[in-house]
Chain A
Amino acid sequence: MSHLTTAVSADDHALGPDDAPVTLVEYGDYECPYCGEAYPVLKAVQHALGKQLRFVFRNFPLTDAHPHAGRAAEFAEAAASVGQFWAAHDMLYEHQDALDDESLIAYGRVLGIGDAALQAGFDGRFDPKIRHDFTSGVRSGVNGTPCLFINGERYDGPRDVDALVAVIRSAAKARA
Chain B
Amino acid sequence: MSNPNVPPSAGPLKAGQSAPVFSLPSTPDQMLSLSDLRGNPVIIAFYPADWSPVCGDQMGLYNGVLPEFHRYGAQLVGISTDGVWCHAAFASARKLHFPLLADFEPKGAVARSYGVYRDHEGTSERALFVIDGEGVIRWSYVSPVGLNPGADGILNALDAMVGQPQAAGAL
Contact = CB atoms under 8 A, between A and B. Distances in A.
Nearest to A145: B56
B119 interface: no
Contact of B150 (A29, A32, A138): A138
Given A62-B64, A143-B148, A144-B148, A29 B56 contact: yes
B150 A142 contact: yes
B110 to A, nearest CB: 24
Nearest to A64: B95
A139 to B, nearest CB: 6
Contacts of A62: 56, 60-61, 63-64
Contacts of B68: 135, 138
Interface string A19-58: 0000000000100111100000000000000000000000
A81 interface: no
A60 B55 CA distance: 12
Interface string B151-165: 110010000000000
A139 B158 CA distance: 12
Contacts of A61: 64
Contacts of B97: 64
B38 interface: no
Given A64-B95, A139-B155, A34 B55 contact: yes
Nearest to A140: B152
Contacts of B58: 143
Contacts of B94: 64-65
A138 B155 contact: yes
A93 interface: no
Nearest to A35: B55
Contacts of A138: 61, 64-65, 68, 150-152, 155
B63 A141 contact: no
B96 interface: yes
A2 interface: yes
Contacts of A140: 152
Contacts of B64: 61-64, 134, 138
Contacts of A65: 55-56, 60, 63, 94-95
A80 to B, nearest CB: 22
B8 interface: no
A37 B64 CA distance: 22
Contacts of A32: 55-56
A34 B94 CA distance: 17
Interface of B: 54-58, 60-61, 63-65, 68, 94-97, 147-152, 155
Interface of A: 2, 5, 29, 32-35, 60-65, 134-135, 138-145, 156
24 contacts: A5-B152, A62-B63, A64-B94, A64-B95, A64-B96, A64-B97, A65-B63, A65-B94, A134-B64, A135-B68, A138-B150, A138-B151, A138-B152, A139-B152, A139-B155, A143-B61, A143-B147, A143-B148, A143-B150, A143-B151, A144-B54, A144-B56, A144-B61, A145-B56
